[in-house]
Amino acid sequence: MYIKKQYLISLIRKKNKEIPKLKNHLYLNRNERAIPFDKKFLNKLYNRIKNINLSMYPQIDFLYKKIANWLNIPKNQIFLTEGVSGAIKSIIETLTLPSKSNIIFPEPGFSLYPVYAKMFNVEARILTYNNQNKLNLDQVKKLIDKNTSIIFLPNPNLPIDEFFNKVDIIKLLNLCKKNKIFLVLDEVYFPFSPISHISLIKKYDNLLIMRSFSKAFGLAGIRLGYIIGNKKNINYISKIRTGYETNVLSAEIASFFIDNYRDILNYVENVRVGLLFLKNKLNKNNISTIGEGNSCYLFVKVKSTRMANNITKDLYKKRIYVRNNWPKPYDKGFLVSGAPKNKINFFLKNFLHIYKKYNN
Protein backbone atom coordinates (compact mmCIF):
# COMPACT_ATOMS: atom_id res chain seq x y z
CA MET A 1 0.00 0.00 0.00
CA TYR A 2 1.37 3.39 -0.96
CA ILE A 3 1.47 6.12 1.65
CA LYS A 4 1.22 9.84 0.97
CA LYS A 5 2.96 11.94 3.58
CA GLN A 6 0.59 14.45 5.13
CA TYR A 7 3.30 17.07 5.58
CA LEU A 8 4.00 16.92 1.85
CA ILE A 9 0.33 17.17 0.99
CA SER A 10 0.11 20.37 3.06
CA LEU A 11 3.27 21.83 1.50
CA ILE A 12 2.33 24.51 -1.03
CA ARG A 13 4.82 24.93 -3.88
CA LYS A 14 4.28 27.71 -6.37
CA LYS A 15 6.19 27.85 -9.61
CA ASN A 16 8.36 30.92 -10.08
CA LYS A 17 6.75 33.61 -12.19
CA GLU A 18 8.98 33.70 -15.22
CA ILE A 19 9.88 37.02 -16.79
CA PRO A 20 10.89 36.60 -20.46
CA LYS A 21 14.54 37.59 -20.87
CA LEU A 22 14.48 40.14 -23.68
CA LYS A 23 17.12 42.31 -25.29
CA ASN A 24 17.38 45.91 -24.12
CA HIS A 25 15.86 44.98 -20.75
CA LEU A 26 17.94 45.37 -17.60
CA TYR A 27 17.45 42.52 -15.10
CA LEU A 28 18.63 43.57 -11.64
CA ASN A 29 16.21 41.44 -9.63
CA ARG A 30 17.79 37.99 -9.16
CA ASN A 31 21.53 38.59 -8.80
CA GLU A 32 22.17 37.10 -12.21
CA ARG A 33 24.91 38.27 -14.55
CA ALA A 34 23.67 41.60 -15.87
CA ILE A 35 25.52 41.65 -19.19
CA PRO A 36 26.05 38.93 -21.82
CA PHE A 37 29.42 37.27 -22.29
CA ASP A 38 31.32 38.77 -25.21
CA LYS A 39 31.31 36.92 -28.53
CA LYS A 40 35.01 36.05 -28.47
CA PHE A 41 34.62 34.40 -25.07
CA LEU A 42 31.52 32.51 -26.19
CA ASN A 43 33.23 31.30 -29.35
CA LYS A 44 35.96 29.77 -27.21
CA LEU A 45 33.26 28.05 -25.16
CA TYR A 46 31.44 26.74 -28.25
CA ASN A 47 34.67 25.31 -29.63
CA ARG A 48 35.14 23.54 -26.29
CA ILE A 49 31.72 21.90 -26.17
CA LYS A 50 30.93 21.25 -29.84
CA ASN A 51 32.50 17.80 -29.75
CA ILE A 52 30.72 16.58 -26.62
CA ASN A 53 29.02 13.23 -27.19
CA LEU A 54 25.49 13.75 -25.89
CA SER A 55 24.57 10.10 -26.43
CA MET A 56 26.96 8.90 -23.70
CA TYR A 57 26.31 8.94 -19.96
CA PRO A 58 28.25 11.64 -18.08
CA GLN A 59 31.80 11.17 -16.90
CA ILE A 60 32.37 13.94 -14.39
CA ASP A 61 35.39 12.87 -12.36
CA PHE A 62 37.42 15.38 -14.39
CA LEU A 63 35.29 18.20 -12.94
CA TYR A 64 35.89 17.00 -9.39
CA LYS A 65 39.62 17.10 -10.13
CA LYS A 66 39.34 20.53 -11.75
CA ILE A 67 37.49 22.05 -8.77
CA ALA A 68 39.87 20.35 -6.31
CA ASN A 69 42.94 21.80 -8.06
CA TRP A 70 41.33 25.22 -8.30
CA LEU A 71 40.48 25.29 -4.58
CA ASN A 72 43.61 23.39 -3.53
CA ILE A 73 41.67 20.75 -1.60
CA PRO A 74 41.30 16.96 -2.08
CA LYS A 75 38.53 15.98 -4.50
CA ASN A 76 37.01 13.68 -1.87
CA GLN A 77 36.07 16.82 0.08
CA ILE A 78 33.68 17.95 -2.69
CA PHE A 79 30.17 16.86 -3.64
CA LEU A 80 28.51 18.31 -6.76
CA THR A 81 24.88 19.39 -6.40
CA GLU A 82 22.06 21.08 -8.32
CA GLY A 83 23.11 24.57 -7.30
CA VAL A 84 23.08 25.62 -3.65
CA SER A 85 19.38 24.72 -3.52
CA GLY A 86 20.34 21.10 -4.19
CA ALA A 87 23.07 21.33 -1.57
CA ILE A 88 20.59 22.51 1.08
CA LYS A 89 18.21 19.69 0.17
CA SER A 90 20.95 17.05 0.39
CA ILE A 91 22.18 18.30 3.76
CA ILE A 92 18.73 18.42 5.36
CA GLU A 93 17.84 15.03 3.92
CA THR A 94 20.94 13.35 5.37
CA LEU A 95 21.41 15.16 8.69
CA THR A 96 17.88 15.42 10.11
CA LEU A 97 15.11 13.11 11.27
CA PRO A 98 11.50 13.85 10.20
CA SER A 99 9.18 15.06 12.97
CA LYS A 100 12.10 15.24 15.44
CA SER A 101 14.93 17.51 14.26
CA ASN A 102 14.97 21.28 14.02
CA ILE A 103 17.10 23.55 11.87
CA ILE A 104 18.00 27.21 12.31
CA PHE A 105 18.33 29.85 9.58
CA PRO A 106 17.85 33.63 9.25
CA GLU A 107 14.89 35.48 7.80
CA PRO A 108 14.67 37.26 5.50
CA GLY A 109 16.85 35.05 3.35
CA PHE A 110 16.80 32.33 0.73
CA SER A 111 13.21 31.21 0.20
CA LEU A 112 13.98 27.48 0.00
CA TYR A 113 15.13 27.10 3.61
CA PRO A 114 11.57 27.07 5.01
CA VAL A 115 10.36 25.04 2.01
CA TYR A 116 12.87 22.25 2.63
CA ALA A 117 12.10 22.32 6.35
CA LYS A 118 8.46 21.53 5.52
CA MET A 119 9.47 19.06 2.81
CA PHE A 120 11.43 16.94 5.29
CA ASN A 121 9.09 17.62 8.21
CA VAL A 122 11.62 19.32 10.47
CA GLU A 123 10.99 22.34 12.66
CA ALA A 124 12.26 25.68 11.39
CA ARG A 125 13.67 28.09 13.98
CA ILE A 126 14.32 31.62 12.81
CA LEU A 127 17.25 33.94 13.48
CA THR A 128 16.12 37.56 13.30
CA TYR A 129 17.82 40.87 12.59
CA ASN A 130 18.09 43.81 14.96
CA ASN A 131 17.54 47.48 14.17
CA GLN A 132 21.12 47.75 12.92
CA ASN A 133 20.49 44.98 10.36
CA LYS A 134 22.73 42.58 12.26
CA LEU A 135 22.10 39.00 13.27
CA ASN A 136 22.54 38.49 16.98
CA LEU A 137 24.56 35.28 17.17
CA ASP A 138 23.94 35.12 20.92
CA GLN A 139 20.33 34.40 19.96
CA VAL A 140 21.51 31.01 18.69
CA LYS A 141 22.03 29.83 22.26
CA LYS A 142 18.33 30.41 22.97
CA LEU A 143 17.21 28.61 19.83
CA ILE A 144 19.24 25.41 20.02
CA ASP A 145 18.25 22.31 21.97
CA LYS A 146 19.04 18.59 21.89
CA ASN A 147 17.09 18.19 18.62
CA THR A 148 18.88 20.94 16.71
CA SER A 149 20.69 19.34 13.78
CA ILE A 150 21.84 22.19 11.53
CA ILE A 151 22.43 25.93 11.60
CA PHE A 152 22.45 27.46 8.12
CA LEU A 153 24.29 30.75 7.96
CA PRO A 154 24.36 32.55 4.60
CA ASN A 155 27.56 34.55 4.52
CA PRO A 156 26.52 37.10 3.31
CA ASN A 157 22.75 36.81 3.48
CA LEU A 158 20.07 38.20 1.18
CA PRO A 159 19.17 41.10 1.09
CA ILE A 160 21.16 42.29 4.12
CA ASP A 161 24.75 41.68 2.94
CA GLU A 162 26.03 41.03 6.47
CA PHE A 163 29.37 39.19 6.56
CA PHE A 164 30.68 37.20 9.52
CA ASN A 165 34.40 37.22 10.22
CA LYS A 166 36.55 34.27 11.24
CA VAL A 167 36.31 35.06 14.96
CA ASP A 168 32.50 34.95 14.89
CA ILE A 169 32.46 31.75 12.84
CA ILE A 170 34.87 29.98 15.19
CA LYS A 171 32.77 30.94 18.22
CA LEU A 172 29.71 29.55 16.52
CA LEU A 173 31.54 26.40 15.41
CA ASN A 174 32.66 25.70 18.96
CA LEU A 175 29.14 26.19 20.26
CA CYS A 176 27.81 23.85 17.57
CA LYS A 177 30.48 21.24 18.23
CA LYS A 178 29.65 21.23 21.94
CA ASN A 179 26.00 20.56 21.08
CA LYS A 180 26.67 18.14 18.17
CA ILE A 181 25.26 20.51 15.54
CA PHE A 182 26.44 21.10 11.97
CA LEU A 183 27.19 24.66 10.91
CA VAL A 184 26.56 25.12 7.20
CA LEU A 185 27.94 28.28 5.60
CA ASP A 186 26.26 29.40 2.42
CA GLU A 187 29.05 31.01 0.37
CA VAL A 188 27.01 31.30 -2.82
CA TYR A 189 28.38 34.81 -3.38
CA PHE A 190 32.02 33.76 -3.38
CA PRO A 191 34.21 35.41 -4.70
CA PHE A 192 32.15 38.61 -4.42
CA SER A 193 32.63 38.10 -0.68
CA PRO A 194 36.10 39.15 0.51
CA ILE A 195 36.88 36.04 2.57
CA SER A 196 36.05 32.34 2.56
CA HIS A 197 36.17 30.15 5.67
CA ILE A 198 37.14 27.04 3.74
CA SER A 199 40.38 26.70 5.75
CA LEU A 200 38.34 25.86 8.87
CA ILE A 201 37.21 22.57 7.29
CA LYS A 202 40.51 20.99 8.38
CA LYS A 203 39.91 21.71 12.06
CA TYR A 204 36.12 21.46 12.41
CA ASP A 205 34.37 18.25 11.40
CA ASN A 206 30.98 19.91 11.96
CA LEU A 207 31.48 22.51 9.22
CA LEU A 208 30.08 22.34 5.69
CA ILE A 209 30.37 25.04 3.02
CA MET A 210 28.03 25.45 0.05
CA ARG A 211 28.91 27.27 -3.16
CA SER A 212 27.48 27.77 -6.63
CA PHE A 213 28.43 28.64 -10.19
CA SER A 214 25.33 30.85 -10.45
CA LYS A 215 26.50 34.23 -9.15
CA ALA A 216 30.09 35.34 -9.82
CA PHE A 217 30.47 32.85 -12.68
CA GLY A 218 27.16 34.02 -14.17
CA LEU A 219 26.03 30.44 -14.82
CA ALA A 220 22.64 30.23 -13.10
CA GLY A 221 21.36 28.37 -16.15
CA ILE A 222 23.59 25.31 -15.76
CA ARG A 223 22.26 24.58 -12.23
CA LEU A 224 25.52 23.51 -10.63
CA GLY A 225 26.88 23.93 -7.11
CA TYR A 226 28.91 21.96 -4.61
CA ILE A 227 29.37 21.16 -0.95
CA ILE A 228 32.79 21.27 0.74
CA GLY A 229 33.47 19.29 3.90
CA ASN A 230 35.82 16.71 5.33
CA LYS A 231 36.10 13.36 3.58
CA LYS A 232 33.88 11.50 6.05
CA ASN A 233 31.01 13.99 5.89
CA ILE A 234 31.11 14.32 2.10
CA ASN A 235 31.11 10.55 1.70
CA TYR A 236 28.04 10.33 3.93
CA ILE A 237 26.06 13.15 2.32
CA SER A 238 26.85 11.91 -1.20
CA LYS A 239 25.14 8.58 -0.47
CA ILE A 240 21.82 10.13 -1.53
CA ARG A 241 23.14 11.24 -4.94
CA THR A 242 21.28 10.18 -8.06
CA GLY A 243 22.98 8.23 -10.84
CA TYR A 244 24.93 11.31 -11.94
CA GLU A 245 25.46 14.53 -10.02
CA THR A 246 25.19 16.64 -13.18
CA ASN A 247 25.17 16.43 -16.97
CA VAL A 248 27.95 16.57 -19.55
CA LEU A 249 27.15 20.10 -20.75
CA SER A 250 27.06 21.63 -17.27
CA ALA A 251 30.26 19.83 -16.30
CA GLU A 252 32.16 20.96 -19.40
CA ILE A 253 30.92 24.54 -19.14
CA ALA A 254 31.92 24.77 -15.47
CA SER A 255 35.35 23.36 -16.31
CA PHE A 256 35.81 25.94 -19.08
CA PHE A 257 34.92 28.80 -16.75
CA ILE A 258 37.37 27.61 -14.10
CA ASP A 259 40.05 27.58 -16.80
CA ASN A 260 39.11 31.20 -17.53
CA TYR A 261 38.77 32.29 -13.91
CA ARG A 262 40.61 35.54 -14.56
CA ASP A 263 37.71 36.69 -16.74
CA ILE A 264 35.35 35.92 -13.85
CA LEU A 265 37.41 38.00 -11.43
CA ASN A 266 37.43 40.89 -13.92
CA TYR A 267 33.62 40.82 -14.02
CA VAL A 268 33.48 40.64 -10.21
CA GLU A 269 35.65 43.75 -9.99
CA ASN A 270 33.48 45.60 -12.54
CA VAL A 271 30.39 44.79 -10.47
CA ARG A 272 32.10 46.02 -7.30
CA VAL A 273 32.92 49.31 -9.02
CA GLY A 274 29.33 49.62 -10.22
CA LEU A 275 27.86 48.98 -6.77
CA LEU A 276 30.23 51.40 -5.05
CA PHE A 277 29.30 54.05 -7.62
CA LEU A 278 25.60 53.38 -6.95
CA LYS A 279 25.96 53.47 -3.18
CA ASN A 280 27.87 56.76 -3.24
CA LYS A 281 25.42 58.43 -5.62
CA LEU A 282 22.39 57.31 -3.60
CA ASN A 283 23.93 58.45 -0.33
CA LYS A 284 24.67 61.87 -1.86
CA ASN A 285 20.97 62.07 -2.64
CA ASN A 286 20.14 61.19 0.99
CA ILE A 287 18.83 57.77 0.00
CA SER A 288 19.77 55.08 2.52
CA THR A 289 21.21 51.73 1.48
CA ILE A 290 22.17 48.44 3.13
CA GLY A 291 25.27 46.72 1.82
CA GLU A 292 28.98 46.90 2.45
CA GLY A 293 30.42 45.31 -0.69
CA ASN A 294 30.36 41.69 0.48
CA SER A 295 28.06 40.53 -2.30
CA CYS A 296 26.66 41.45 -5.72
CA TYR A 297 23.64 43.48 -4.59
CA LEU A 298 22.55 46.59 -2.73
CA PHE A 299 19.35 47.16 -0.78
CA VAL A 300 17.76 50.58 -1.35
CA LYS A 301 15.56 51.99 1.43
CA VAL A 302 12.68 54.38 0.79
CA LYS A 303 9.97 55.97 2.95
CA SER A 304 7.19 53.40 2.68
CA THR A 305 6.07 50.07 1.29
CA ARG A 306 3.80 51.83 -1.13
CA MET A 307 6.66 53.97 -2.40
CA ALA A 308 8.86 50.89 -2.89
CA ASN A 309 6.09 49.15 -4.84
CA ASN A 310 5.36 52.19 -6.99
CA ILE A 311 9.01 52.71 -7.84
CA THR A 312 9.39 49.05 -8.75
CA LYS A 313 6.36 49.23 -11.05
CA ASP A 314 7.62 52.40 -12.75
CA LEU A 315 11.06 50.90 -13.28
CA TYR A 316 9.36 47.86 -14.80
CA LYS A 317 7.73 50.17 -17.36
CA LYS A 318 11.24 51.38 -18.20
CA ARG A 319 12.29 47.73 -18.75
CA ILE A 320 14.34 47.74 -15.55
CA TYR A 321 13.67 44.97 -13.03
CA VAL A 322 14.45 45.13 -9.31
CA ARG A 323 13.11 43.04 -6.43
CA ASN A 324 10.64 44.27 -3.85
CA ASN A 325 8.03 42.55 -1.62
CA TRP A 326 10.45 41.72 1.20
CA PRO A 327 9.09 40.93 4.68
CA LYS A 328 8.97 43.68 7.31
CA PRO A 329 10.92 45.83 8.02
CA TYR A 330 12.50 45.43 4.57
CA ASP A 331 9.20 45.97 2.78
CA LYS A 332 10.18 49.65 2.60
CA GLY A 333 12.76 49.11 -0.08
CA PHE A 334 14.02 46.92 -2.88
CA LEU A 335 17.10 44.99 -3.92
CA VAL A 336 19.29 45.98 -6.86
CA SER A 337 21.60 43.37 -8.32
CA GLY A 338 25.10 44.51 -9.15
CA ALA A 339 26.25 45.30 -12.67
CA PRO A 340 29.09 47.16 -14.40
CA LYS A 341 29.05 50.93 -14.00
CA ASN A 342 27.42 51.77 -17.34
CA LYS A 343 24.41 49.56 -16.57
CA ILE A 344 24.19 50.87 -13.02
CA ASN A 345 24.28 54.44 -14.32
CA PHE A 346 21.36 53.68 -16.65
CA PHE A 347 19.39 52.32 -13.69
CA LEU A 348 20.39 55.26 -11.49
CA LYS A 349 19.20 57.96 -13.91
CA ASN A 350 15.82 56.32 -14.30
CA PHE A 351 15.47 55.60 -10.59
CA LEU A 352 16.31 59.16 -9.46
CA HIS A 353 13.77 60.60 -11.90
CA ILE A 354 11.07 58.25 -10.57
CA TYR A 355 12.13 58.76 -6.95
CA LYS A 356 11.70 62.52 -7.16
CA LYS A 357 8.13 62.04 -8.37
CA TYR A 358 7.19 60.09 -5.23
CA ASN A 359 9.38 62.02 -2.79
CA ASN A 360 7.80 65.45 -3.35
DSSP state string for 184-208: EEE-TTTTTSS---GGGGGT-TTEE
- pLDDT digits 0-9 by tens, 244-302: 999 999 999 999 999 999 999 999 999 999 999 999 999 999 999 998 788 999 999 99
What band does 8 get if pLDDT is binned at 50, 70 and 90?
A: confident
What band does 77 get if pLDDT is binned at 50, 70 and 90?
A: very high
pLDDT for residue 360 is more than 80: no
pLDDT score of 162: 85
pLDDT for residue 3 is more than 80: yes
pLDDT score of 304: 95
| Strand order, beta sheet including 333-337 | 289-290, 297-301, 333-337
Q: What is the CA radius of gyration of the chain?
A: 21
pLDDT score of 90: 97
pLDDT score of 331: 95
How far apart (Å, rounded) are the C-alpha atoms in residues 292 and 275? 10
Three-state DSSP state, 211: strand
> Percent of the chain beyond pLDDT 90?
84
How far apart (Å, rounded) are the C-alpha atoms in residues 346 and 320? 9
- pLDDT digits 0-9 by tens, 13-72: 887 777 777 788 999 999 999 999 999 999 999 999 999 999 999 999 999 999 999 999
Give the pTM. 0.94
Q: Which amino acid is located at 113 in the chain?
A: Y
pLDDT score of 21: 75
How far apart (Å, rounded) are the C-alpha atoms in residues 312 and 310? 5
Detail the DSSP E strand segments found in the chain.
Answer: 26-27, 78-81, 102-106, 123-127, 148-154, 182-186, 207-212, 225-228, 289-290, 297-301, 320-321, 333-337
Dihedral of the alpha carbons of 240, 242, 243, 249, in degrees to the nearest 10: -130
pLDDT score of 24: 86
| 273 alpha carbon, distance to own chain's centre | 21
DSSP structural state of residue 303 = S
For the segment 324-332, the average pLDDT, to the nearest whole number, is 93
- pLDDT digits 0-9 by tens, 198-220: 999 999 999 999 999 999 999 99
**Are 290 and 325 spatial neighbours (Cβ–Cβ below 8 Å)?**
no
Min mean pLDDT across 4-13, 114-123, 245-254, 349-358 is at 4-13
How far apart (Å, rounded) are the C-alpha atoms in residues 293 and 288? 15
DSSP string over 167-178: HHHHHHHHHHHH
Dihedral of the alpha carbons of 146, 147, 148, 150, in degrees to the nearest 10: 130
pLDDT for residue 133 is more than 90: no
What band does 5 get if pLDDT is binned at 50, 70 and 90?
A: confident
What are the structural domains, with CATH classification, of the chain?
16-37+262-359 (3.90.1150.10), 52-259 (3.40.640.10)
Across the chain, what does the average pLDDT equal? Answer: 94
pLDDT score of 195: 84
- pLDDT digits 0-9 by tens, 141-154: 999 999 999 999 99
pLDDT score of 294: 87
